[in-house]
Amino acid sequence: MHPDAVSTISAESSASSFSSVPSFSCVAGTPGNDAPPLLELCGVTRSYRTGGWFAPRQQRQVLRGVDLTVREGGCTGVVGPSGAGKSTLCRIALGLEQPDGGMVRFMGRDVRHGLGKDRRHIQVVFQNSVNAVNPRLTVERIIGEPLENFTTLNRRQRRSRAGELLEQVHLSPSLLDRLPHRLSGGQLQRVCIARALAPRPRLILLDEALSSLDMLVQARVLDLLTELRRATGVAYLFVTHDVRLVPLFCDEAAVLTEGRVAPVDMHAPGHPCARQQAAHQATPHQEAFNALRAAILPAMPVGTPG
Amino acid sequence: MNDGTSSPTGPMPTSTTAPVPALIVHGLELRRSAHRAETKTGATGNTPAQAAPPLVGPVDLTVERGQVVCLVGPSGCGKSLTCMSLLGMLPDGVTRTAGTIRVNGQAVDGQDANGAPPERLRLLRGRGAAYVLQNPASCFDPVFTIGAHFQETLAAHQPDGSRSGARPDWRTAARAALCEVGFDDAQAILRHYPFQMSGGMLQRVMIALALVLDVPLLIADEPTTDLDLPSQARVLDLLEQVRRTRNMAILLVTHDLSVAARMAHRMAVMRHGRVVEQGDVRELFAAPRHPYTRALLAAHHRLYGLCPPQGDDTVQQHPASSSAAAGRP
């Protein structure tokens, strides 16, 4: 369905388990992808009143007409500066918040008033995993919650599936009976990813979900998510500020700035995957994307020998 | 010299020799203690389980004035516990069972004898080291203004160790610190509440709170992790400026090697509570020795579209790398 691997960086193999770093493949853009749209936002607007109770009320327009489509089995990255409205966009896409205007469709149905029976098919992993879990529930119950809600598995089956999911995110099933405060941040984030995978959704929204993970875990989780997409056709909407990850993971990228979303060319000029469309070069969104890319920290220390 | 886990200690320098390093850690070991309630008094009065392997240690670290040392490692490796022990603050259930810590030449003992400081003052100790955390919003009391935080911090950490209330000129000191971290209207910031400020701004306020105590060592624990790229760059530029203008020593904890590439003079790689490799950052990037360091660098290079170093060979640039991977200064 998707043209794969224009350039592949293969993994370095070594005897030690942690040295087998997973490979990333650069997935080319899919201008010709005609899979049906899974999630569609058309002309979505949203504003908030600022000022609180005792200050003069002001209307702050966060989204001014957002158009965004994620296709079946696709992976769309949305980047933008802090405060641009990425989290608002996520909440509207999930049906947690109603837009002031515009249309939101998931699997062809209007979901502005909630997802209803399609709730299991769109899952989310947030940035702050500590706030995303009930601190009194064990890992087994946390991962098992969507299984309880959306499936008819019994307790033993749920525990077994939770163990499988933990292994999928490279955690040991021995963590099933742990409470969240006894896990590190990275482990808890992976538990949240396992929870999102549990009901086998069609779309997973990753709202800065990989930002806090350390490098090896981040690489493994990205590889895991990529494999899952190949195997099951799940789609991702990947909201992130780390523009380094976007070309490695996403088919296409869009930038949210000034309340609007527009697609951008996520590869640098000269890259084999870079699109030739000159129209992308001068838009404010492309410039915003380039500015984010310019803020990337260096790969090597200054003056590295060699 | 990149020679693995070398011990940096030596005789304490006299006034005629080089300046005292801001931080010397030697043989530090932290263990889970058997009796949770009695951990506040440090080594006395409790019985840590000596038979169990240490949570952290043995760890050796040195940070000179004007130097940035990056402590790099995965989540759960003990970086934050190590930092807390440097400030004499350990959570319930963890004690220091071995090793010495000297901050600016003075030994850091166990927990504060007066009991753990209030949660909101946890971010700063004022005894020679200040602490900047990953999630700045969690360190501020939402019902107090930024100015109130400065007043409280200065009241709690008088230079002579007393707690007799804020200096009358605390506003002047606070405004100066806020200007130093780049706020144009410091007076307005003092009147703001934490919720009115973004993560990047709160991080700069945390740094200003550290500066107002005028300590020689700043411990920054993942200060940029939750910030977007432009804010990250601003916070790191600010730390670099503070290092230069105040000759401050900085222990910078991060899991992102690009932060080490940008900031560090030396790097220490931590895993499972131990420092597995440390040395000059450029040598470590060019020729990592420990397999874990190599794995980290391999993941880092793939993020930038570079090929990982092959043993001691130079780094080769992947033909399809983006311009950002050019290792710009």
The CATH number that applies at residue A188 is 3.40.50.300
pLDDT of residue B50: 55
pLDDT of residue B132: 85
Min distance A297 CA to chain B CA atoms (Å): 6
pLDDT of residue B123: 42
pLDDT of residue B45: 44
Min distance A257 CA to chain B CA atoms (Å): 14
Tokens of A60: 């702050």
| Reported confidence tier of residue B306, pLDDT bands at 50, 70, 90 | confident
| Reported confidence tier of residue B137, pLDDT bands at 50, 70, 90 | confident
CA A242 and chain centroid, separation: 11
φ/ψ region of A287 (left if φ > 0, alpha if ψ in -120 to 50, else beta) reads: alpha
| Residue contact A219–B231, C-beta within 8 A | no
Out of A170-184, B139-153, B278-292, least confident range: B139-153
CATH, residue B146: 3.40.50.300
User: What average pLDDT values come out for chain A (306 residues) when binned by 10 residues?
Assistant: 31 34 36 75 89 73 91 92 84 89 91 83 90 94 93 94 90 94 85 93 92 82 86 91 88 89 80 56 80 85 67
pLDDT of residue A160: 95
Comparing A243 with B15, the larger pLDDT belongs to A243
Is residue A64 in a domain?
no
pLDDT of residue B310: 53
pLDDT of residue A298: 85
Collect all residues of chain A within an 8 Å Cβ-Cβ radius of residue B73.
214
Residues B216 and B26 sit within 8 Å (Cβ to Cβ): no
pTM: 0.75
Is residue A306 in a domain?
no
Which chain A residue is nearest to residue B322, measuring alpha carbons? A268
| Residue contact B305–A9, C-beta within 8 A | yes
The interface pTM score, or ipTM, of the predicted complex is 0.74
Instruction: Report the residue from A295, A300, A305 with minimal CB separation from B261.
Output: A300
Min distance B310 CA to chain A CA atoms (Å): 10
Is residue A42 in a domain?
no
Asked if A127 has any chain B CB less than 8 Å from its own CB, the reply is: yes
| Residue contact A216–B74, C-beta within 8 A | yes
Rounded to an integer, the average pLDDT of B209-221 is 87
Q: Which residues, in sequence order, are CB contacts of B25 under 8 Å at separation 6+?
A: B59, B60, B61, B62, B82, B86, B99, B100, B101, B102
| Residue contact B285–A300, C-beta within 8 A | yes
Helices A155-168, A185-197: inter-axial angle, 10-degree rounding: 120
Comparing B240 with B105, the larger pLDDT belongs to B240
Out of A22-26, B198-202, B220-224, least confident range: A22-26
By residue range, what is the domain housing residue A113? 69-294
pLDDT at B46 over 70: no
| Residue contact A297–B232, C-beta within 8 A | yes
pLDDT of residue A40: 92
Highest mean pLDDT among A70-84, B79-93, B218-232, B281-295: B281-295
pLDDT of residue A272: 65
| Reported confidence tier of residue B260, pLDDT bands at 50, 70, 90 | very high
Q: Closest Cα partner for B222 from B61, B65, B73, B30?
A: B73
Count of positions (residues) in chain B: 329
Out of A280-284, B112-116, B267-271, least confident range: B112-116
Is residue B2 in a domain?
no
Is residue B199 in a domain?
yes
pLDDT at B116 over 50: no
| Reported confidence tier of residue B313, pLDDT bands at 50, 70, 90 | very low
Asked if A214 has any chain B CB less than 8 Å from its own CB, the reply is: yes
Rounded to an integer, the average pLDDT of B39-61 is 65
Is residue A176 in a domain?
yes
| Residue contact B256–A215, C-beta within 8 A | yes
CA A285/CA A253 separation, integer angstroms: 11
Is residue B34 in a domain?
yes
Count: domains in chain B:
1
Rounded to an integer, the average pLDDT of B41-58 is 63
- C-alpha dihedral sign at B186, B191, B196, B201: positive
Rounded to an integer, the average pLDDT of B54-62 is 89
CA A138 and chain centroid, separation: 25
pLDDT of residue B308: 61
To probe the interface with B, which of A10, A217, A297, A302 has the most B CB atoms within 10 Å? A297
Instruction: Report the residue from A21, A272, A296 with minimal CB separation from B320.
Output: A272
Min distance A96 CA to chain B CA atoms (Å): 22
Q: Closest Cα partner for A99 from A57, A50, A62?
A: A62
Rounded to an integer, the average pLDDT of B125-131 is 69
| Residue contact A81–B230, C-beta within 8 A | yes
Instruction: Report the residue from A293, A298, A305 with minimal CB separation from B327.
Output: A298
CA B192/CA B161 separation, integer angstroms: 29
Q: Closest Cα partner for B303 from A299, A259, A61?
A: A299
What SS3 class is residue A158?
Answer: helix
Comparing A183 with B199, the larger pLDDT belongs to A183
Is residue B318 in a domain?
no
CA B133/CA A45 separation, integer angstroms: 36
Min distance A168 CA to chain B CA atoms (Å): 19
pLDDT of residue B307: 66
| Residue contact A184–B301, C-beta within 8 A | no
Instruction: Report the residue from B227, B285, B302 with minimal CB separation from A9.
Output: B302
Is residue B271 in a domain?
yes
CA distances from B4 to A219, A305, B83 (A): 26, 18, 21
Is residue A58 in a domain?
no
Count: domains in chain A:
1
pLDDT of residue B51: 67
Instruction: Report the residue from B228, B303, B320 with minimal CB separation from A82.
Output: B228
Is residue A161 in a domain?
yes
